[in-house]
Amino acid sequence: MRTEVVVLLAILGVAFGSMPVYALGSARRRPDTLESSARGGFVLGGFVRSWFYWFIRPVEWTCLALGLPPLLFNLLGVGFGAAGGIAFATGHLTLGGWGVLLGGAMDVLDGRIARAQGVAGDQGAFLDSTLDRFAEFGAFVGLAVLYRGSPIGVAVVVTALGGSLLVSYARARGESVGVLCKGGIMQRAERLLMVGFGGILDPVVGVALGWPSRALLLWAIGIVALGTVATAVYRTVWIARRLATEGGE
């Protein structure tokens, strides 16, 4: 078994093993004051999201003790996204997957660190959301290079990138006219997980299933493409109807 898969399985084993511990102590645990109300729902449910924040708390506390600024995590997120894109472009799917997942972890930490330090504000929120788009752009450019020999592959990657940007744009444009819509099934967290795990598992699971190399990752990107376009359409219709209703009152 490949070393990177062993590492992934070990991390997942520790993670899933900690879930019962978290669940048993959740009744006595105080509400998470660092959770952002701006985040939308998570397809795996609120329990998994709350557990993840609890799971990474030692890292969070260490970063706070060192006085690391939130901007550092924004920049690390872009760096990991770009590194993941370069890894994908050069055919290193596992490294690309890890780059995407680590970039997502930085995205979680930047906001929590900012709120814990009491420095969260409009500038930070703007940099956070904008730099997230740079990170996604870098990863998807690398994926486009990876599938450059396949017109279908390139089309799927471009659709996933376009859908991802449309999901964010629909929300931002809605907020600019006074309507907040956080609904949908393929927000940033879901996109990161699909692409990240798709890259990590493709070299082993894909081969075990008898699939050609990169096929499993392409299926994962295809799910992202369908989910993001559907989410963007949903948000567009929902916001337009809300504006029409408010305009008629």
- Is 35 within a domain? no
Q: Which positions are catalytic? A: 132
- Which residue segment(s) compose the domain that 105 sits in? 58-248
In a domain, 149, yes or no: yes
* Residue (of 150, 159, 125) closest to 213 by Cα position: 150
User: Is the residue at 107 inside a domain?
Assistant: yes
CATH of the domain at 239: 1.20.120.1760
Handedness of CA 62, 66, 72, 76 (dihedral sign): negative
Helix (H) or strand (E) run with residue 217 in it: helix 215-248
Residue 155: inside a domain = yes
Taking a C-beta distance cutoff of 8 angstroms, is the pair 122, 79 a contact?
A: no
Total structural domains in the chain?
1
What is the per-residue pLDDT for 54?
80
What is the percent of the chain with per-residue pLDDT over 70, rounded to a whole number? 88
1 in a domain, yes or no? no
Q: What is the reported pLDDT for 229? A: 95
For residue 5, pLDDT beyond 80: no
Which has the higher per-residue pLDDT, 98 or 123?
98
Whether 104 has a pLDDT exceeding 60, the answer reads: yes
pLDDT class of 78 with cuts at 50, 70, 90 = very high
**Inside any domain, residue 118:** yes
Would 9 be classed as within a structural domain? no
Is 124 within 8 Å of 118 (Cβ atoms)? Answer: no
d(CA 165, CA 187): 10
**Is residue 75 in some structural domain?**
yes
**Is residue 143 scored above 70 in pLDDT?**
yes
